[in-house]
């Protein structure tokens, strides 16, 4: 049985990691209570009241623990992952797994030296049932060869809940690294690309002059030998929307297209995970709410078998590289 622990409770995606690994048959051994978001820790305690709080050094030192899950402040994730891998653990981290090129190189070096798994749980694909279904439809050839993805990652600011580091690009890596890594992952995955290039990228601060370093808008144009991708991420989701963001993905193929409304259908259908498929024979809406999330089962098997079925290590590295490059090259818009 996979035994796992949590080190770094600074983002709500930690709940996805725990829930997913428990559903895959894992045992939740304990967690380090250190956090920059006390309300998140309170919720964690209420959700898992029987799971002990344990000092992180003790968790790293426990030889019976196979996996360390990390959702710390983004700039700290790579360091914690390296510490865990050197202690003989595999790692599942929230995105972004790294915030600098130096961190990426150190992670690569550590993986090579230790043979451990460094996996980033890209929740907008791995934890979204409509995204899982889309992957199956693409594999079945429902839209022909995929030639473009358009990924939108809008978010609500929800200012009262945000810690100080949320507004510091050095802490969160910049909006492209922090959020658009999801869409970079999806571009590579759905187009079947093993590598890509950044054609153009932009960032901006249009709505928060009082936080001059903050970035509330980002966009990226990607290209590979198999297709192209456009990404837009932002913090401008209006409060009137009934969820935290209207995440969307359009997958264009040579014989049709798929559109995902991941978290809400603004036309009125209840719930989330709405998939629209249009091709030469049909035009239909698919409710994906019962689709199984297979990343966590695959990750558990990879830990056991030392395989790469959930996601290749090369894919993880390439998402990180492209995200960092797009952030670094980005033209700043908005005059702030």
335: pLDDT strictly greater than 80:
no
Whose CA is closest to 208, among 198, 218, 196, 216? 216
Return the pLDDT at 268.
75
pTM of the model: 0.96
267: pLDDT strictly greater than 80:
no
Q: Average pLDDT, stretch 322-336?
A: 90
Q: Average pLDDT, stretch 243-270?
A: 92
Written as one string, the DSSP assignment of 24-40 is: TT-EEEEEE---S-HHH
Return the pLDDT at 25.
97
Q: Average pLDDT, stretch 192-213?
A: 96
Decide if 114 contacts 172 (C-beta within 8 A): no
Write the DSSP symbol of residue 52.
P
Q: Average pLDDT, stretch 305-327?
A: 98
Return the pLDDT at 197.
98
Alpha carbon 27 to its chain centroid, in Å, reads 23
pLDDT, the chain, mean: 96
Return the pLDDT at 45.
96
Which fold is adopted by the domain 125-293+325-333? Answer: Dihydrodipicolinate Reductase; domain 2 (3.30.360)
Write the DSSP symbol of residue 247.
-
Query: Cα separation of 41 and 60, whole Å?
Result: 20
Alpha carbon 255 to its chain centroid, in Å, reads 29
* Tens-digit pLDDT profile for residues 122-179: 999 999 999 999 999 999 999 999 999 999 999 999 888 899 999 999 999 999 999 9
Decide if 146 contacts 263 (C-beta within 8 A): no
Q: Where in the chain is the domain with CATH 3.30.360.10?
A: 125-293+325-333
Return the pLDDT at 277.
97
Q: Where in the chain is the domain with CATH 3.40.50.720?
A: 3-121
Architecture of the 3-121 domain: 3-Layer(aba) Sandwich (3.40)
Q: Average pLDDT, stretch 34-56?
A: 96
291: pLDDT strictly greater than 90:
yes
* Tens-digit pLDDT profile for residues 33-42: 999 999 999 9
Q: Average pLDDT, stretch 182-200?
A: 98
Q: How open is the CA angle 140-142-144, to the nearest 5 degrees?
A: 100
Whose CA is closest to 190, among 219, 152, 148, 220? 148
% of the chain with per-residue pLDDT over 90: 93
DSSP H helices, the chain, are: 14-23, 38-47, 56-61, 74-86, 101-114, 123-126, 129-140, 169-172, 175, 181-191, 295-305, 313-329
Q: Average pLDDT, stretch 286-294?
A: 96
Question: What secondary structure, in 3-state letters, does 212-240 show?
Answer: CCCCCEEEEEEECCCCEEEEEEECCCCCC
Return the pLDDT at 178.
97
190: pLDDT strictly greater than 70:
yes
Return the pLDDT at 117.
98
Sheet architecture: strand order including 197-204:
283-287, 274-279, 256-261, 248-253, 146-154, 228-234, 217-223, 197-204, 331-333
336: pLDDT strictly greater than 60:
no
Q: Average pLDDT, stretch 33-57?
A: 96
Q: Average pLDDT, stretch 255-274?
A: 90
How does residue 88 score in pLDDT terms, banded at 50, 70 and 90? very high
């Amino acid at each position: 049985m996979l035994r796992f622990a949590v080190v770094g409770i600074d983002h709500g995606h930690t709940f996805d990691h725990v829930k997913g690994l428990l559903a895959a048959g894992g045992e939740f051994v304990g967690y380090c209570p250190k956090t920059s978001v006390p309300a998140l820790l309170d919720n964690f305690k209420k959700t898992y009241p029987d799971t002990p709080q344990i000092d992180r050094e003790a968790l790293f030192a426990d030889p019976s623990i196979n996996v360390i899950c990390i959702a710390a402040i983004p700039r700290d994730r790579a360091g914690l992952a390296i510490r865990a891998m050197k202690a003989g653990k595999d790692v599942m981290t929230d995105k972004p797994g790294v915030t600098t090129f130096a961190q990426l190189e150190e992670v690569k070096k550590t993986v090579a030296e230790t043979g451990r798994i460094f996996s980033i749980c890209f929740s907008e694909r791995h934890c979204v049932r409509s995204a899982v279904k889309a992957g199956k439809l693409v594999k079945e050839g429902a839209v022909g060869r995929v030639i473009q993805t358009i990924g939108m990652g809008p978010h609500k600011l929800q200012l009262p809940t945000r810690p100080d580091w949320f507004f510091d690009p050095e802490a969160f890596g910049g909006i492209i690294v922090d959020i658009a890594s999801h869409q970079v992952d999806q571009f590579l995955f759905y187009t079947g690309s093993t590598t890509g290039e950044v054609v153009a990228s932009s960032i901006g601060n249009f709505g928060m002059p009082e936080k001059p370093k903050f970035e509330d808008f980002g966009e990226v144009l990607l290209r590979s030998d198999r297709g192209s991708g456009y990404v837009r991420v932002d913090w401008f989701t209006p409060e009137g929307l009934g969820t935290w963001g209207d995440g969307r993905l359009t997958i264009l193929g040579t014989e049709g297209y798929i559109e995902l409304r991941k978290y809400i259908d603004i036309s009125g259908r209840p719930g989330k995970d709405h998939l629209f498929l249009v091709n030469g024979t049909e035009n239909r809406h698919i409710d994906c709410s019962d689709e199984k999330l297979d990343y966590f089962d695959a990750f558990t098997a990879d830990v056991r078998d030392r395989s790469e079925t959930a996601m290749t290590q090369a894919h993880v590295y390439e998402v990180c590289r492209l995200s960092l490059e797009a952030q670094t090259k980005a033209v700043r818009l908005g005059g702030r």
